[in-house]
Amino acid sequence: MPGMKLKTKRILILSLLTAILAVLSVIYLYHSGNRHSSLTAMDSLYFYYNDAVSIRLSPAGIDNVYNLFVPGCAHDELMIGYHPGETGKVVINDEFFIESGENILPYIRDISDDGNPYVSIRLLSVAGKEIFNGYINFFFAGNIPSVYINVSEAGIDGINSENPEERLSKLHVSGIMTVVDPDGLTDTHAEIDMSRRGNTSFIHMDVKPYNINLKQPVSILGMRQGKKYAFKANSYDMNHLLRTEAAFDMARLTNMSMMFDSRFADLYINGTYNGLYLITNRIKGDELLELPDIPSKPDETGYLLELDYRYENEKNFFISHDQGIVVHYPEEPDSGQMSYIENRYNKAYEVIAANEDYEKYIDVDSFVKMYIIQDFLCNVDVDYASFYVYLGEDGLFHAGPIWDLDLACGIMQTLPFHEELALRSHIIPDRGGIFLDILGESPRFMDKVSSYYLDSFSPMLNAYIYGTMQEKGKTIYASLRIADAQHRFHFRGLHSLEDLNGLQEWMRDRNALLSDYYSDTSKYISVTFHFAWGDIRTLAPKNEPLGYLPDNAHSDNDEAFWGEIEAFTLPDGTAVDDSFAPETDTDLYAVYTPDSHALEEGWLWKR
């Protein structure tokens, strides 16, 4: 019968389709299980607070353990996310199934063996196969803003692998940046251009600094509106990151002209926590300093200059008194402008060196403030790089803006980390930046320095150290801790300066020393210690025992290379001890043991 035959056909087709679907299902589950067996928690999970805040896990350096760095805005609510088609189930603490979109924070257990809040987590594939069984440690950032930059992975890898010595060309990568305030509200959402910045810190440090350019001027976190921002990693100051910010604060408190804003923030790149950064406006003549537009005459525009030992890698520079001076603005100066600014600079130098009417060439007040801040913080880069001056519409050179003082207050890069040397150092006479060393020889300039220090700077400093600075240190402490967990920093300074309290005490003692010095400079003389690697000039009270000899002061703290210092001698070879009480400016020479590797390789002076 036709109807029966048709019905039989339909049954056979349906049975065949059912069998085919069953086979396909088995094949899918088999391959799905194999594919997911190679996945990790990093591949499968993401975490989010809102549409703007999405973060990923980071390896903890231990098998089957990951770290999750929670931004300050997400301390109460952080959703777990996964794709149900790829990850079948997520089991928390061996008993709770957690859904995608559910808040994970209520499941946190108090403390792991490593001292961190954590959860245990199992991931099951859609086939029911276990693809991960391990732990997630939770690190909670401080109550500070967070920044989320999304760029291509190839792009950020390319930036991070560049050689910063190639100053005239650098990779630029486009992306999206979202800035979120501590309450979780979006402050800025914009297209960006991202590139590297920095030199030594970019080469040697894991936490890289970056430049961020925006298409339109934007005020980020209430800072001065601009298109060009710096994300400073402060990599030599990673135990509290307050040296550069303290220098900025001092410049702002002393009302140095054209000083910019700065903000601490946690940075995430493509969802991965990258570290604690200091965001600032960049020093640009047309944007930050608002120097005049380029006219037809060279003397009718402003100029932005920087002392930089890498001047040969820049497009526009001149040499003056053995210093390389880079011209940053105008960005494309013509020959007339280059000739004008070089001649103007050299004339100012000559007038200052002769102690003539240098007030006609420089803004004295700005140089007084720059001298005090650089000297107080013992910035060893002062004659090396990042020292800016600008020629304003008033025809005067102004000191500033101040920039990049992470090598200060006892962090001396390759120089020795000796407590008394760092506290008592007096580097400006030997390492004076732009004009500072020759200004230091002018009695009327130093009278202004003494008066301003005692009347204004010292009282302001005491209030700042245990006020604003202490509050900032407390605010960033939690973020600093998670940055250390991510990158395992190695402190490059005195152990007594490893925390905020140590830095505060150093500043307090430094202020007491300089206050006494400026109250009566005739009570002090200079003692210059000569080492194999270089010299350090220090302040010492006249006719009083030194009380110390820096016999463990070795460059990079490498005594194995330099050898032991067995004595210090006067130029005539007379040995002294820490009871030595100099009456006048004195030179002391380190004497090294004969087994010194430095001596064998010809590093040490022969006297």
Longest dimension (CA), the chain: 129
End position of a domain, from candidates 220, 255, 281? 281
Domain CATH code at residue 547: 3.10.20.90
End position of a domain, from candidates 84, 118, 140? 140
Q: How far apart are CA 431 and CA 422, in angstroms?
A: 15
Same domain, 486 and 348: yes
Same domain, 469 and 330: yes
CA 4 to chain centre: 83
The tally of domains found in the chain comes to 4
Query: Is residue 230 within 8 Å of residue 208, measured between CB atoms?
Result: no
Summarised one tens digit per residue, pLDDT across range 95-142 is 899 999 999 999 998 776 667 899 999 998 888 888 889 999 999 999
Q: What is the pLDDT of residue 27?
A: 42
User: Does any domain span residue 23?
Assistant: no
Same domain, 385 and 418: yes
Same domain, 424 and 538: no
Q: What is the pLDDT of residue 433?
A: 83
Same domain, 215 and 314: no
Same domain, 332 and 424: yes
**Which residues fall within 8 angstroms of residue 363, CB to CB, at 6 or more apart?**
257, 392, 394, 396, 397, 398, 399
Q: What is the pLDDT of residue 350?
A: 96
Summarised one tens digit per residue, pLDDT across range 30-42 is 444 444 444 566 7
Summarised one tens digit per residue, pLDDT across range 42-80 is 778 999 998 878 899 999 988 999 999 999 999 999 999
Listed in order, strand segments (DSSP E) in 291-450 are 303-307, 317-320, 323-329, 387-391, 397-399
Of 540, 537, 463, 548, nearest to 504 by C-alpha is 463
**Which residues fall within 8 angstroms of residue 107, CB to CB, at 6 or more apart?**
92, 93, 96, 98, 119
Same domain, 585 and 538: yes
> H or E segment at 237?
none
Same domain, 448 and 356: yes
User: Does any domain span residue 29?
Assistant: no
Give the helix ranges, DSSP H, for 378-467.
419-424, 436-439, 443-452, 458-465
Same domain, 107 and 157: no
End position of a domain, from candidates 462, 491, 519? 519
Same domain, 93 and 227: no
Helix (H, G, I), strand (E, B) or coil at 476: helix
Question: Which residues in the chain show pLDDT less than 50?
Answer: 4, 21-38, 414, 416, 491, 604-607
What is the domain range of residue 585? 521-600
